[in-house]
């Protein structure tokens, strides 16, 4: 299955904040959206899934496996979210429900798309927790988000996103709030899960160093527009746009290895 975004626009209260963004994600590809804060990368991700904030409207075209998502009724989009397209948000502390155990939240994602008993959903939740390398999965699913570390909460968020084995994963700056060591672990986990399942990936970040570790193709955004698009190795070695050159200078993550992207 492939994702095709063509001339995507997002207007918020009459102000255009995403202005004609186009890119494609072929089946099994790993594409990064990169840009500074306010470049429109997160709004692009939200527009794909019909999750834009109140007052925002999307135009243009977003096709998933040939089906147009822009204008699709929310009930139909809800059937795609989690089942065919999963999303991991930037800050799991706010993305997770603080008054529900993490196991219940993983199981809820599974039961939304599968008519199965609670006991089976719970067993699948434990398996999903194990899949993302959470320690003692049977015990950790009984805990609440505040009882977990930041890295563990992000692993739970990934487990929820992947619980129904989607074909496309959108990861919106999933390592920003983590220290460099945990960041590297989460990137390695995401990459292994995506590769093992043959999923497509849209990875959103402001850090070219991070992008070099997980994506093979990059789309550089500035003020809601695409300013450069190229293999990540080319963005690292021969950036054309001023914004990409600035992102390269600012790539300070210690896990970065020049030429690390293939």
pLDDT tens per residue, range 87-136: 998 777 778 999 999 999 999 889 888 888 889 999 999 999 999 999 99
Burial of 261 from C-beta contacts in 10 A (0-12 / 13-18 / 19+) = buried
* The predicted structure's pLDDT at residue 254: 40
Q: How confident is the model at residue 252 (pLDDT cuts 50, 70, 90)?
A: low
Average pLDDT rounded to a whole number, residues 43-58: 94
For residue 42, what are the contacts with CB-CB under 8 A and spacing of at least 6? 90, 172, 173, 204
Q: Are residues 182 and 80 in the same domain?
A: yes
Q: How confident is the model at residue 262 (pLDDT cuts 50, 70, 90)?
A: very low
Q: Are residues 246 and 180 in the same domain?
A: yes
Q: Are residues 174 and 251 in the same domain?
A: yes
Inter-residue contact 208 to 248 (CB < 8 Å): yes
- Asked if residue 39 has pLDDT above 80, the reply is yes
User: Total structural domains in the chain?
Assistant: 2
Inter-residue contact 238 to 225 (CB < 8 Å): no
Q: How confident is the model at residue 195 (pLDDT cuts 50, 70, 90)?
A: very high
Which three-class secondary structure state does DSSP give residue 103?
Answer: helix
**What is the token pair recorded at 223?**
């003020």
As a whole number of angstroms, the distance between CA 244 and CA 247 comes to 5
**Among 165, 196, 217, residue at a domain's last position:** 165
For residue 139, what are the contacts with CB-CB under 8 A and spacing of at least 6? none
**Among 138, 165, 192, residue at a domain's last position:** 165
The H-or-E segment that residue 211 falls in is helix 208-214
Q: How confident is the model at residue 57 (pLDDT cuts 50, 70, 90)?
A: very high
* The predicted structure's pLDDT at residue 191: 92
* The predicted structure's pLDDT at residue 113: 84
- Asked if residue 257 has pLDDT above 70, the reply is no
Q: Are residues 199 and 76 in the same domain?
A: yes
**Among 139, 165, 191, residue at a domain's last position:** 165
Q: Are residues 70 and 182 in the same domain?
A: yes
* The predicted structure's pLDDT at residue 95: 81
- What is the domain range of residue 145? 92-165
Inter-residue contact 59 to 11 (CB < 8 Å): yes
**Digit-coded pLDDT (tens) for 78-97:** 889 988 999 998 777 778 99
């Amino acid at each position: 299955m492939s994702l095709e975004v063509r001339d995507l626009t997002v207007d918020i209260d009459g102000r255009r904040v995403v202005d004609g963004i186009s890119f494609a994600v072929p089946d099994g590809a790993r594409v990064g959206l990169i840009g500074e804060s306010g470049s429109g990368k997160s709004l692009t991700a939200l527009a794909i899934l019909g999750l834009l904030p109140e007052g925002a409207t999307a135009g243009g075209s977003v096709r998933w496996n040939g089906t147009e998502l822009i204008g699709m009724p929310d009930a139909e989009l809800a059937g795609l979210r989690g089942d065919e397209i999963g999303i991991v948000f930037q800050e799991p502390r706010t993305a997770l429900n603080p008054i529900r155990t993490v196991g219940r939240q993983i199981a809820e994602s599974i039961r939304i798309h599968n008519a199965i008993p609670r006991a089976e959903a719970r067993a699948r939740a434990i398996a999903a927790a194990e899949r993302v390398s959470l320690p003692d999965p049977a015990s950790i699913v009984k805990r609440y988000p505040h009882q977990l570390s930041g890295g563990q909460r992000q692993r739970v968020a990934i487990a929820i996103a992947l619980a129904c084995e989607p074909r496309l994963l959108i990861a919106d700056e999933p390592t920003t709030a983590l220290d460099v060591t945990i960041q590297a672990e989460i990137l390695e986990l995401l990459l292994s899960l995506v590769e093992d399942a043959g999923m497509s990936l849209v990875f959103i970040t402001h850090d070219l160093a991070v992008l070099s570790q997980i994506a093979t193709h990059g789309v550089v955004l500035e003020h809601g527009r695409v300013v450069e698009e190229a293999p990540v190795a080319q963005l690292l070695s021969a950036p054309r746009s001023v914004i990409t050159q600035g992102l390269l200078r600012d790539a300070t993550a210690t896990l970065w290895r020049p030429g690390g992207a293939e």
